[in-house]
Structure 1
């Protein structure tokens, strides 16, 4: 009831243990707190919080317009509704190394299990768009060192994302990833890998966990969980998938309202009221204090 039953520290340990287990962790992207609870209910290992989704939620493109306050606030709302560890997209850290340090401590305070920081030039672009630019190695590693030095909970995961593959190629991406690990990164997010062989090359070159980004309509093929596991990937995200599906359904429903004037024919596509009440745990609230408010969940 209310929020997660576990502490952020417990969820951070859970993420660390999962990454050390050798199993592939599945982190669908939550676009709001309720979807995070559904991800947990379905049995996934964690929740991902995408910067692109947070931007879209505000009606903005994913070009570095969101602020630390907006990202941390939404991240806290999502993370506190699930007992799963939540990994959040921290873009380029919202400024210079001192800003990166503040970002990490703010995200710790918000209850996140970890974050990833990227090596793009600010203002950044969506990782699967053309025209990206990356900073030099010294700047990229400086961000990671600042993040590692700033964290107070050693279990808070500092993941380094590199976008250099799309700019300079795979060999440059491997070299950059090694430098980021040397700077203290706990894990690597190699963005926009094109083939399973590229993931395998990353796996062979690094001794830390690696993440695969399975975003639709991007540079990477949509590999299956089994394929990624066989390639040595430790964590896979589907960052925008649930938002895309939800917005697609909303678009079709609005068209139906225009064409037919009602949604009676789409009831089978909707989450039932009883299922929503179950997901938000209405019955627990009811039992908590029946003198304040009492009701029965019906199937109508």
Structure 2
């Protein structure tokens, strides 16, 4: 295995170890490299590339309008920006089983540590939106088998996701998650759980790690320390950053428009020099000096 592939496999192993702790490890979501750098600087253990956020960054709703090629390219940029493992939203795989296989291989080549596939019909919808419909067990099994067969390294994690809670309840979600686990996926993911009891019930019912999603403005919030006691493997915060970005930027723009000044907001702004340093400007400057010195 090449050095690059070994490093990628190591990141997958890190995600596997996080899940195995069953501590509902908190992983924030982002749409770009800068967000990933902020997540890393804050001390989190992994980065989640959220399909909702990627779509929003292009001025689109999360209704299947973003192509697999766009998601793969975005994932590659995020991977290149941080040393953390990156978990990617792969929606429904962007086509039939052959397309799913190509998506898996491309994400793995890009250095992504893990990806999830969901059981929605195409075109999919954001899990918090109406208009969702699920495929049957056979079609979802085909998607996941394609992903498992296509990966090169067992440390590239394949995660099965169901949106059944919002449509059919927790019992149906558990049934679907168990079916996914039997196929050999590394973990399962379930949005729309609304209580600690539901989180605990799902974690206890499924014999592989369960990933939960937290949506601040949609469902009741549970403290991370309490989620950690439910047996969940991971808690994704897919829309936390984008909700914060949109809310704060809107307030900033309203202040500028109404008051003609951003002075009241300056204490909450990151200094430009701090951002420039985080982006690695000093590293590039040092490299340029080294080149000149060696000329």
* Same structural fold, with TM-score higher than 0.5 when normalized by the shorter chain: yes
Please, what is the CA RMSD of the aligned residues?
Answer: 1.9
Q: Does 1:135 align with 2:135?
A: yes
Partner of 1:148: 148
Partner of 1:194: 194
Q: Does 1:174 align with 2:174?
A: yes
CA distance in 1, matches of 2:198, 2:130: 19
CA distance in 2, matches of 1:131, 1:222: 24
Q: Does 1:281 align with 2:280?
A: yes
What's the TM-score, normalizing by structure 2? Answer: 0.93
Residue 292 of structure 1: how far off its partner (Å): 6.8
Partner of 1:212: 212
Residue 285 of structure 1: how far off its partner (Å): 2.1
Deviations 1:20-68 (A, max 9, x none): 2344322111232112111111111110110000110111111111100
Residue 194 of structure 1: how far off its partner (Å): 2.0
Deviations 1:50-102 (A, max 9, x none): 00001101111111111001000111111111111110111011111111111
Partner of 2:70: 70
CA distance in 2, matches of 1:61, 1:32: 17
Unaligned runs of 5+ in 2: none
Partner of 1:14: 14
CA distance in 2, matches of 1:248, 1:191: 23
Residue 271 of structure 1: how far off its partner (Å): 0.7
Relative contact order (C-alpha < 8 Å, sep 6+): which is higher? 2
Partner of 2:259: 260
Unaligned runs of 5+ in 1: 294-300
CA pair 24-165 structure 1, distance change in 2 beyond 3 A: closer
CA distance in 2, matches of 1:7, 1:271: 32
Partner of 1:245: 244
CA distance in 1, matches of 2:47, 2:197: 26
Are the equivalent residues in 2 in contact too, given 1:25–1:46 (CA < 8 A)? Answer: no
Q: Please state whether the residue corresponding to 2:228 is helix, strand or coil.
A: helix
CA distance in 2, matches of 1:292, 1:241: 41
* Corresponding residue pairs, total: 289
Residue 291 of structure 1: how far off its partner (Å): 6.5
Residue 115 of structure 1: how far off its partner (Å): 0.6
Q: Counting helix residues as a fraction of each chain, which structure ranks higher? A: 2
CA distance in 2, matches of 1:195, 1:291: 56
Deviations 1:254-280 (A, max 9, x none): 212212223233211111022112312
CA distance in 2, matches of 1:162, 1:95: 18
Deviations 1:141-162 (A, max 9, x none): 1111111011011101100000
Partner of 2:289: 290
Q: Please state whether the residue corresponding to 1:95 is helix, strand or coil.
A: coil
Deviates more, 1:61-70 or 1:26-35: 26-35
Partner of 2:38: 38
